[in-house]
Structure formats: structure tokens, C-alpha cells
């Protein structure tokens, strides 16, 4: 049986994601867990694992671009776009960070938990998919967000800046002709700094799970860029343009999981239309399948249900915020926090910081509410959490630090 180039690319995306799902489950690589460990226990192991994945992906993209092995001109989504919509990165990132905390995991971890038998995460996946669909396939985004966010966007090309990535910004600042060289210098320096920060921790060096988890996730992101942005991907793009009915989602891309949740819902509503099956959809199912395989082989597959009504509503609210926030931010903690970051886009870096802020703030509020119970109002917990994060002066503290 001979497969078309479209089927080959989608199949490769699925298989790479299976590997990601296996190792993310095995090593407990989790971006929400990374923030939780840091905020609640001062443990930076999984946070360094996340940074390790970022550093590897940056080094991979720089190398592939400089050697001409990939062309990111048709990048999807356009991480390096010249329309710098800073407000959506910040608001979307904070919303997603809150959502993944309430929903017990980011987009990638949600898929891994689904593969491991977690029904709560399946509910989060469905709810996030519904709102991602509303944001991308209906007028919801235009009515609620576009009207006031678009005027805030900064048009970089009108300022003589080619795009929002570090290479383009440095090229404009220095008068250099080639942003690619600037990406090499800026990206190379960033990789060195990240590697020094990551590997100076003896605890990280002793943790094979953190090392392997970060390395595999970073490598999978690079592999996806190579498949979709390399010679194989260019053939995919060119041949698809001559088809009578062009499949959606064609272009150089790597893994992101919020938009594919909405795309999966679209596929479910039109099961006979194979043109709706995207690289992202195949990646989503690949992670679930990989996690399922590992769970079964390691005998860790467990059905998990909600412990209470409040637990149910917390996960529903989390899924809602993840679906809306992930689309606003143009990606999840993998989609922007690793894939987008690998392109050196400033928006991706802003989204990354916003994910961490939203998640950390939510965890601190939850902790104050848990410790003080009825004594702690939401406002008191919120203000005290901001004091803890050194965003408000200590005199404004409402609750004693715990």
C-alpha cells in the first residue's frame, strides 16, 4: 500500500508524538508540576527539565535553519509574526496558567493523563476542545477579544523590523543584513546561559528522569520541525497546493496541543472528512496512545474519577480557561513554552512567563484558602499571594505568610 506525502507527514507526526507520550508519562515531565514543585517545595528539578527541553529545541532549530535543512517561512502558527499582539500573549498565558492549575495539568499532561485512564482529564480535554473550537471556528474571539486587542498590537514592519524574534530585533538594532546570523548569536548565547543554569544543580544532574524527560521532549519538538519544515515538508506543502481540496493545517510546525483539541472536535463532528485531520490532531492522539502504551506495560493504568462536585467544577473551569487562554496565547506550555520558544519569538517568551505567573498565583491562593479555610477571603488570599511574589509591598499583606 502506497501512502501519499500528506499521509506520510501525518503518520510521522503521530509516531514522534507516541514517543513523547511514552517518555512524558515515564519521567513525569509536567510543566504545571514543575511550577508546583518550585512554588510549594522549592524544588526546581522539573522546572529545569522544562528549560532543558527549551534549550535543546532552540539549539536544534538554529542548527537546522543555518544548515538549510528546514524552512520556517510557512510557520504555523506564525510565531515570528510582525504583528506583535503582546496583550494576547500575557492575558492568554495567565488564563492558561490558571486553567492548567485548576485542571490538574497543561495540555500535554492532560493528554498523558487521559492515556493513563484519568476521566477527569478527559473532561478537561473535551471542555478545552469546545472552547478552542469556539475561539477558532466561530465569532467568539472576534466579539470578545479582537475588537480591543487588535488596536494594541505593535506593527513591527512599519518600524523597519522584520519580525518579533530575537534575530530580527537584533538585526534591526544593529543594521545587520541577515537575521539568521543574529538568531545564531542570540540563540547560542541563550542556550549557553540556560545550560549553565540547568546543569549547575546537583539534584538535576542526579535525576535521570528529569534529564531524559527534557531531552526527549526537546528532541521530539525538533523532529517535528524537521518533518514539516524540511525537504519532506516542502514537498508536502507544494503537492497539497495542487490538490482539488486542500487539507487544512499545512505548513512548517511542531507540537502544540490547545488548537488541536478544537480541531479534534471539528473532526469528530465531520468524521468522513479526512481533510480536517491535521498534524496537530495526529500529535494529540499520538501522545495519548504513547501514554496508554506505557501505562499498560508498566501496569500503571488506573481509572480516576472526580472526588467531589467542587473537584468536577474546578476541572471544568480549568478546561474552559485552557481552551480560551491557549488560543489567545497562540499555544500551550509546549506550543509556546517550547515550540514557540525554539523560534526565539518574544511573544513565546512572554507567554512562557505568563503561564508560570498564572499557575504560581493560583497555587498560592489555593494554599492560603486551604490553610486558613473560612478565615481567608479570596481578596485576602489574592493580595497575600501577590505580596509573596513581591508584586505588592509587605504592608498590604492580609494573611500571615505560610
Task: Tell me the C-alpha distance between 84 and 121, whole Å.
Answer: 33
pLDDT of the residue at 243 = 65
Between CA 208 and CA 26 the distance in angstroms is 11
pLDDT of residue 141: 95
Q: Kindly state the cell numbers that stand for 345.
A: 519569538
Q: Which of 366, 285, 359 is nearest to 322 (CA)?
A: 359
Whether residue 61 contacts residue 348, with contact meaning beta carbons closer than 8 Å, is answered with: no
The tens place of each residue's pLDDT in the chain, 402 residues long, gives 678 899 999 999 999 999 999 999 999 999 999 999 998 888 999 999 999 999 999 999 999 999 999 999 889 999 999 999 999 999 999 999 999 999 998 889 999 999 999 999 999 999 999 999 999 999 999 999 999 999 999 999 999 999 999 999 999 999 887 888 899 999 999 999 999 999 999 999 999 999 999 999 999 999 999 999 999 989 988 887 666 677 888 999 999 999 999 999 999 999 999 899 999 999 999 999 999 999 999 999 999 999 999 999 999 999 999 999 999 999 999 999 999 999 999 999 999 999 999 999 999 999 888 888 777 888 888 998 899 888 899 888 888 887
Is pTM beyond 0.75? Reply is yes
The CB density around residue 307, as the number of other CB atoms within 10 Å, is: 9
Amino acid at each position: 500500500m502506497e501512502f501519499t506525502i500528506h499521509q506520510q507527514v501525518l503518520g510521522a507526526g503521530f509516531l514522534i508524538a507516541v514517543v513523547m507520550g511514552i517518555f512524558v508519562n515515564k519521567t513525569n515531565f509536567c510543566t504545571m508540576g514543575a511550577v508546583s514543585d518550585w512554588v510549594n517545595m522549592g524544588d526546581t528539578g522539573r522546572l529545569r527539565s522544562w528549560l532543558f527541553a527549551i534549550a535543546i529545541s532552540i539549539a536544534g532549530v538554529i542548527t537546522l535553519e543555518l544548515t538549510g535543512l528546514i524552512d520556517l517561512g510557512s510557520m504555523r502558527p506564525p510565531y515570528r509574526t510582525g504583528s506583535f499582539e503582546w496583550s494576547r500573549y500575557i492575558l492568554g498565558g495567565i488564563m492558561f496558567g490558571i486553567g492548567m492549575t485548576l485542571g490538574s495539568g497543561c495540555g500535554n499532561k492532560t493528554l498523558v493523563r487521559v492515556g493513563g485512564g484519568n476521566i477527569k482529564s478527559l473532561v478537561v480535554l473535551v471542555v478545552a476542545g469546545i472552547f478552542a473550537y469556539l475561539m477558532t471556528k466561530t465569532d467568539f474571539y472576534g466579539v470578545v477579544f479582537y475588537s480591543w486587542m487588535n488596536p494594541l498590537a505593535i506593527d513591527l514592519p512599519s518600524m523597519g523590523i522584520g519580525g518579533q524574534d530575537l534575530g530580527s530585533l537584533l538585526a534591526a538594532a544593529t543594521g545587520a543584513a541577515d537575521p539568521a546570523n543574529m538568531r545564531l548569536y542570540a540563540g547560542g548565547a541563550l542556550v549557553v546561559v540556560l545550560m549553565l543554569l540547568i546543569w549547575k544543580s546537583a539534584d538535576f544532574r542526579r535525576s535521570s528522569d528529569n534529564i531524559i524527560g527534557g531531552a526527549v521532549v526537546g528532541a521530539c519538538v525538533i523532529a517535528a520541525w524537521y518533518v514539516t519544515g524540511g525537504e519532506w515538508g516542502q514537498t508536502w506543502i507544494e503537492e497539497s497546493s495542487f490538490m482539488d481540496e486542500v487539507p487544512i493545517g499545512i505548513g512548517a510546525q511542531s507540537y502544540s496541543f490547545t488548537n488541536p483539541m478544537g480541531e479534534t472536535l471539528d473532526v469528530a463532528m465531520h468524521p468522513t472528512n479526512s481533510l480536517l485531520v491535521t498534524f496537530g490532531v495526529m500529535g494529540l492522539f499520538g501522545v495519548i496512545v504513547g501514554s496508554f502504551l506505557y501505562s499498560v506495560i508498566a501496569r500503571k493504568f488506573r481509572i480516576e474519577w472526580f472526588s467531589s462536585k467542587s473537584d468536577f467544577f474546578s476541572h471544568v473551569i480549568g478546561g474552559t480557561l485552557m481552551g480560551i487562554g491557549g488560543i489567545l496565547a497562540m499555544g500551550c506550555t509546549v506550543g509556546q513554552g517550547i515550540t514557540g520558544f525554539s523560534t526565539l519569538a518574544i511573544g513565546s517568551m512572554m507567554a512562557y512567563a505568563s503561564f508560570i505567573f498564572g499557575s504560581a498565583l493560583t497555587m498560592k491562593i489555593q494554599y492560603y484558602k486551604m490553610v486558613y479555610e473560612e478565615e481567608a477571603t479570596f481578596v485576602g488570599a489574592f493580595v497575600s499571594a501577590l505580596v509573596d511574589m513581591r508584586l505588592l509591598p509587605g504592608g498590604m499583606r492580609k494573611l500571615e505568610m505560610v
